[in-house]
Amino acid sequence: NKLRWDTYLKQLDILSPDATPGQLRDLTRNINILSGRATITGISGNKLAFMNGLFFSPRFVWSRIQAPTLLIRQALAEGADTPAGRQLTRMVARDMLGYMSGVLGMLYVGKASGVIDVELDPRSSDWGKAKYGDIRIDPWAGLQQPMRALAQSLTGERKQMGTGKIQDVTVPDVISTFV
């Protein structure tokens, strides 16, 4: 919580002084989503406690689904054309691209050095994972799965793990596998 609060205060200092209350809410929403603490609209208290019993960390899972669309949402938000709105969009872009660059850089160095292998086909469930022998390491913190589901939905294809065969797949199939 302290890290999120400190991040909020730092971003607030950078944000334009004419930021609206809506833009301040966007800032807190962005920080919560990117730190894995998304708000599930309409669910709180006992309902959220019940969901915690059914699923592992539902707010974290929901944040991983929201994160890939966060930059687009922020760029299209009300007031996005104001100085504060443009600053919020830059903040989200910087945070997301910084994270992606770090993970991709680590994977590239590992693959180039021959220490690990990395699957480069986004239709595969092993996409973007570091493979060391039979060990698979997912450095994406839950962001790989929604991106892979999107790639499979757009291409209509799935790559079979092990055989490497490409198989046709429908969007409902992808959604049911993802869920």
- Alpha-carbon distance 125 to 167, whole Å? 13
For residues 111-140, give the mean pLDDT.
92
Q: Confidence band (pLDDT; 50, 70, 90) for 136? A: very high
34-58: per-residue pLDDT in tens? 898 888 888 877 888 888 888 888 8
- Alpha-carbon distance 53 to 21, whole Å? 34
Confirm whether pTM is higher than 0.95: no
Helix-helix angle 83-112:58-76, to 10 degrees: 120
67-120: per-residue pLDDT in tens? 888 888 888 888 889 888 899 999 999 988 888 899 999 999 999 999 999 998
If you count DSSP H runs as helices and E runs as strands, how many of each does the chain have, helices first?
A: 7, 5
